[in-house]
């Protein structure tokens, strides 16, 4: 688990974020994350809620019960999410982070929902569901 100061920003720069490690890093192949980000797979960096600042704080978006997401109100970049089955953790969208190159995923979540043409050649564990037991 990397001990990191984590910083990032949205596409347009109107919303910035900061957090600090230790961080858990995982891919999510679920259809909700896919639709929200528009990407075939999402990578997330999980940190303690109390370390996270979104500046200025966007309004929360909640569509699926137990899941809250935050995006930049100006450009729509997905920034962060919380999942009720992962209490105390906020998950930051990897693509917005300045330290993305050094935050290496250790797990695939919802591997059963992965797109059939997507082949990530690693030996990481593949959880068929959320992986909340190990995150």
What residues make contact with Zn ion under the rule CB under 5 A? 10, 12, 14, 28, 30, 33, 72, 74-75
CB of 83 to Zn ion, least distance (A): 8
- Whichever of 10 and 114 has its CB closer to Zn ion, that residue is 10
CB of 3 to Zn ion, least distance (A): 25
User: Which of 9-40 are b and which e, b meaning 16 or more Cβ less than 10 Å from the residue's Cβ?
Assistant: bbeeeebbbbbebebbbbbbbbebbbebbeee
- Whichever of 3 and 98 has its CB closer to Zn ion, that residue is 98
Q: Rounded distance, CA 52 to CA 77, Å?
A: 17
- Whichever of 43 and 52 has its CB closer to Zn ion, that residue is 43
């Amino acid at each position: 688990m990397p001990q990191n100061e984590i910083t990032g920003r949205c596409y347009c720069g109107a919303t910035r974020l900061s957090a600090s490690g230790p961080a858990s890093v995982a891919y999510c192949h679920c259809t909700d994350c896919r639709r929200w980000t528009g990407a075939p797979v999402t990578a997330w960096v999980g940190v303690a809620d109390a370390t996270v600042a979104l500046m200025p704080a966007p309004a929360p978006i909640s569509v699926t019960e137990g899941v809250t997401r935050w995006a930049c109100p100006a450009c729509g970049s997905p920034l962060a999410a919380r999942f009720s089955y992962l209490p105390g953790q906020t998950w930051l969208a990897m693509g917005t982070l300045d330290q993305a190159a050094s935050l290496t995923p250790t797990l695939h979540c919802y591997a059963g929902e992965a797109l059939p043409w997507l082949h990530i050649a690693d030996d990481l564990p593949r959880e068929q569901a959320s992986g909340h037991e190990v995150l």
